Structure 1
Amino acid sequence: MKKSVAIIGEGETEWFYFDSLRITQRYPFKVAPDFPSHSDITHILYLAKRYLIEQYDYVICLIDMDRIRQVPQEYAAYIAAKSKKEFRKVMFVETYPCTEFWFLLHFVPGLSTKLYRSCDELLPELRKYMPGYEKSKIYFRKTKLYDYLKANGDLAVAMKNAEKLCRLSQENPEDQISYSEIYKVIKLLNELMPMKS
């Protein structure tokens, strides 16, 4: 039985990455909204409620922590939403600082607990592995993100290191490190896919 999955991203990066993943892997999920126009938490929570009402089996919200932490009201609203009953079926997936950190994990061979405080701080490191990378529709249309990462990076290493970094981040929150929970989405999608013969 097919499960319905809505993945709500804050911006274009998430939309293009998960759309290329959906197409390549033939996953039957919706990347929502059809194209993001608002990245504020109010809009993300509005969409989450909408997909819950539409009875999606899984509603996933991707959160770039560098952006949301810059606006105290948004951060407070996000923290409050995570504990509200109406959002208990929503899977909140954080990355600090941004989704590009998940991309970087495909290339870094060893576990690094380096802290990147912003996406701008991280981009020079990512461009060593993805030359010319930029957050633009032109780049994303030209470079199918998932396909590029699959061909040039190592998803298994990214998954393993992301899981370790998330564990370290939770065990020692005072030791700030960059982390990404996107591996949880990949695991879930793999579990939901019927076995290919």
Structure 2
Amino acid sequence: MGGRKNKKLDLRNGIFIVGEGITEQYYFAHLKQLRKYNCSVKPRFFGKTSIDEISRTVSKLLMGGVSVICIFDADVAARDKVENEKLNKFKKKYQKNNLVTICDSLPSIEFWFLLHFVKTNGLFVNSKSLEKELKKHIPNYNKTESYLKNKTWVEQFINQLDFACVNAKEIDQTQGCSYSNIFKAIDLLEK
């Protein structure tokens, strides 16, 4: 009999990375290749534009008993009360689940990239101002797929990964400044 086969999710690999967009997807795909990380970075786990969608994907993956790293920007939640409530609910739901690692960045993942070059805890009010600062260190950086799919942009700063982790860990997130929790993903992947 003809027809499409249902694709089964291969849960042999114990760490799955779920995220918002193509920047996160390509960054972690390149890290996986360059650092030989043992994780799954698949396009179908990205492009989740809301906390609700990410939460549904996480729930499905957890049924397979795998670890899940959630990568997303917190800028919308910072300026929208409803999204902020959803984010807090999501964090609370998984805060004691050691199979889920939540790695949000405010305003965006570009702050994580910036931490590879400078130690800062300033508040970037939006991604545009942050990207302007990042371009001082990665002049050609842009968020187009044609740029992101080439691993050379990650190769430019991968040697400063430890510096970024130290910088991110030292930020006091209670002070209303920009932050990134992506160091938690790196810590897990480096084990």
TM-score normalised according to structure 1 size: 0.82
Alignment length (residue pairs): 179
Corresponding residue of 1:53: 63
1:156 aligns with 2:162: yes
Q: Deviation digits for residues 144-177 of structure 1, max 9, x if unmatched?
A: 44322125xx222111111101xx22xxx2x321
1:117 aligns with 2:93: no
Q: Deviation digits for residues 30-79 of structure 1, max 9, x if unmatched?
A: 124436333111111111011101221x1111121113333332221221
The one-letter amino acid paired with 2:136 is: K
1:39 aligns with 2:49: yes
SS of equivalent to 2:146 = helix
**Offset of residue 184 of structure 1:** 1.2
Q: What stretches of structure 2 of length at least 5 have no aligned partner?
A: 1-11
**Offset of residue 127 of structure 1:** 0.5
Corresponding residue of 1:180: 180
The one-letter amino acid paired with 2:88 is: I
Contact 2:116-2:164 at 8 Å conserved across structures: yes
Q: Give the CA RMSD over aligned residues.
A: 2.1
Contact 1:16-1:144 at 8 Å conserved across structures: no
Contact 2:77-2:84 at 8 Å conserved across structures: yes
Corresponding residue of 1:195: none
**Percent identity at matched positions?**
31
C-alpha distance in 2, partners of 1:138/1:102? 21
Q: What stretches of structure 1 of length at least 5 have no aligned partner?
A: 192-197
C-alpha distance in 2, partners of 1:33/1:51? 15
**Offset of residue 103 of structure 1:** 0.5
CA change 1:105–1:79 in 2 (3 A) is same
- Using the TM superposition, name which of 62-71 and 30-39 deviates more: 30-39
Contact 2:18-2:71 at 8 Å conserved across structures: yes
Corresponding residue of 1:101: 111
TM-score normalised according to structure 2 size: 0.84
Mapping 1:8-47, distance limit 5 Å: 8-34=18-44, 36-47=46-57
Contact 2:21-2:46 at 8 Å conserved across structures: yes
Corresponding residue of 1:70: 79
Corresponding residue of 1:82: 91
**Offset of residue 142 of structure 1:** 3.0
